[in-house]
Structure 1
């Protein structure tokens, strides 16, 4: 469907042509008319489906129609990460390129707040922000919550999953109850359902499931944990992908793996939450321009990072949740491109990967590559409940391991209590 079918202002259509948007995607076709009509909305669609433009275009159109009205009005777009805030801010600026005097401010932590305070002098038409930095701006009287008449929660499930729930509740308590609220998410988890039930008023529901499914070839390769890096190196060398994104679960693992790859002659760098903002931006730019071949990332990068035509994603360590798996592999196969997503499965992660498959309705064939045939068995689990915290079917917790180590050091068979 062409964008002209939505009766958008010629300035917006001009910006769409310049930006190379060929036609409306399924989520855009469904969401734009509902937002223009003023409905609250709960929309879910896979990553890369075009959700940002799906709400940006109608909100810019509504801003155009409301210009000259009484009072200051502001649209607030909340996102979980700096990278997402930057991406959405850039998209909004691009689509508003030919609009008269629209003021768009992007605010996030990790950088000085002073330029953001200055940018908000005199108000703003659109504010794109992460929750913590938004509260800082409100505390500094740079933004008046009463001026907000439209709220967008982009990646709503991630806002809750990343531990923003308390900040989000504080923000919601400050906002006017009379407003238009839009929730966008790639997954419709239980926490999103609960949030939607208490936040939206007579919402319309849009769910894009099978339309425009990204072309991602998913593979699961079994390998012993001690040989994982060697297999990873062979894949990178044999496939010769121009760029690849590798996922691990901690900043320590990201830094360590990136350094090892560098020693093996791979142009690699790590991306995690404790990097300074300037460093994060340089790393991403180096990946996009080809200076880097491999980015080793934590789940910080699973959402909001858009590398055009990224051919491969590798789960060196499995994600903690099925939702994170979806967002990790969604870094490839974007905008009509094809991609491959590979998960490396060792003995101790087999059961967890089966759970991910079950929750997502997947069943991937297990591959074994010559020279990397797995021989390891899963680590033993505690056999039964006991008085010391052991739970049948569960692996030892850190506390149990510490107790066992203390008992061994003391020369006793029974761990000390509590």
Structure 2
């Protein structure tokens, strides 16, 4: 990365990839002072939570270097984001939809972009962002460094990479579809009608205090949360239909131990950084194996 080469990397969440691309990115930018107001590095992420998390890392790692950064995503008012962009910055972390909204309102320019990072590229494709990504790519300077990070090297990712990357260095941090060695796994055969009751029993009997539960759908997440609350177990749901404020509060309360169970769709929770999370429950089988592992 420091030499300016394009990179295509397969890395699961939790492998340190954010630091892996942020530190050399900041080193490259720090070596050459900013001359304009436009961002010099653009990091695209699929969800608001992941974008905010990446921006937190950028802030942490750039504490002692003179670089400015901002994060923009939907679900919140656009005007404060426009004001931040007008002040000038080096690194912009964004979700594709909000970035295009800002561009259409002439709030952001791309002519100074030197480095592009696509984080969780496979998830962006799963969420239908390919059109938005292609629109953004068409607006960027032709001469730039491109970094693509994905949990897998699927055929769709390789197709995207062919049109984006120039003779990239390929890196695979961990074997595909592998679980962490120290994770203890259990399976409970149970009728559909008894799943919620079993989950409540497991939480109570084992005195679980922090449980992340994955469901397939937003409606399913809401329904399960309501049933757990009726059973006397504090729970909150996090998914795309929730406002950004509600999602932020739910995650903060879960991390603080005020909520025992966080029920999430796999898309909303992909890439969340929750330190020392003791229990994870797949309430339903994920659509793709990578979401399980």
Q: Say which structure, 1 or 2, has more relative contact order (CA 8 Å, 6+ apart).
A: 2
1:63 and 2:26 equivalent?
Answer: no
1:86 aligned to which of 44, 47, 52: 52
Residues in 2 aligned to 1:71 and 1:116: alpha-carbon distance in whole angstroms: 14
Question: What are the Cα deviations for residues 165-193 of structure 1, in whole angstroms up to 9, with x where unaligned?
Answer: 11111111111111000001222222111
- Gap regions ≥5 residues in structure 2: none
2:129 corresponding residue in structure 1: 164
The 3 A distance-change label for structure 1 pair 202 and 257 is same
Q: Cα–Cα, structure 1 residues 278 and 68, in superposed 2: closer, same or farther, change >3 Å?
A: closer
What whole-Å deviation, never above 9, does each CA across 1:204-225 have from its counterpart, x for those lacking one? Answer: 0111225994522222221111
Q: Tell me the equivalent position of 1:127.
A: 92
Whether the aligned pair in 1 keeps the contact of 2:13 and 2:271 (CA below 8 Å) is no
Whole-Å separation in 2 of the counterparts to 1:48 and 1:213: 10
- 1:112 counterpart residue number: 77
The residue that corresponds to 1:47 in the other structure is 13
Query: Which structure would you say has the larger Rg?
Result: 1
**Matches of 1:152 and 1:214 in 2, distance apart?**
29
Residues of 2 paired with 1:163 and 1:272: CA distance?
A: 16
| Equivalent residue number for residue 175 of structure 1 | 140
| Counterpart-to-counterpart distance in 1, 2:43 and 2:264 | 25
Deviation digits for residues 288-344 of structure 1, max 9, x if unmatched?
000000011112333131111111111111111223223xxxxxxxxxxxxxxxxxx
- What is the alpha-carbon distance in structure 1 between the residues aligned to residue 114 and residue 248 of structure 2? 32
Counterparts of 1:222 and 1:84, CA distance in 2: 33
Q: Which secondary structure state, in structure 1, belongs to the residue aligned with residue 186 of structure 2?
A: strand
RMSD: 1.8
C-alpha displacement of 1:69: 6.3
Distance, in Å, in 1 between the alignment partners of 2:261 and 2:228 is 9
Aligned to 1:296, the other structure's residue is in SS state strand
* Aligned 8 A contact 1:49 1:212 in 2: no
Contact 2:38-2:108 within 8 A present in 1 as well:
no
- Is 1:299 matched with 2:269? no
CA distance in 2, matches of 1:163, 1:72: 27
CA contact (8 A) 2:38 2:109 kept: no
Alignment map for 1:321-340 (pairs within 5 Å) = 321-326=288-293
Aligned residue number for residue 226 of structure 2: 259
Structure 1: gaps of 5 or more residues: 1-34, 327-418
CA-CA distance at 1:226 after TM superposition? 1.3
Distance in structure 2 (CA, Å) of the matches to 1:229 and 1:68: 55
Please report the TM-score for the alignment, with normalisation by the length of structure 1. Answer: 0.67
The alpha-carbon deviation at position 104 of structure 1 amounts to: 0.2
Q: Pick closer, same or farther for the CA change 1:71–1:122 going to 2, 3 Å.
A: closer
TM-score by length of 2: 0.94
Q: Aligned partners of 1:249, 1:52: CA distance in 2, in Å?
A: 26
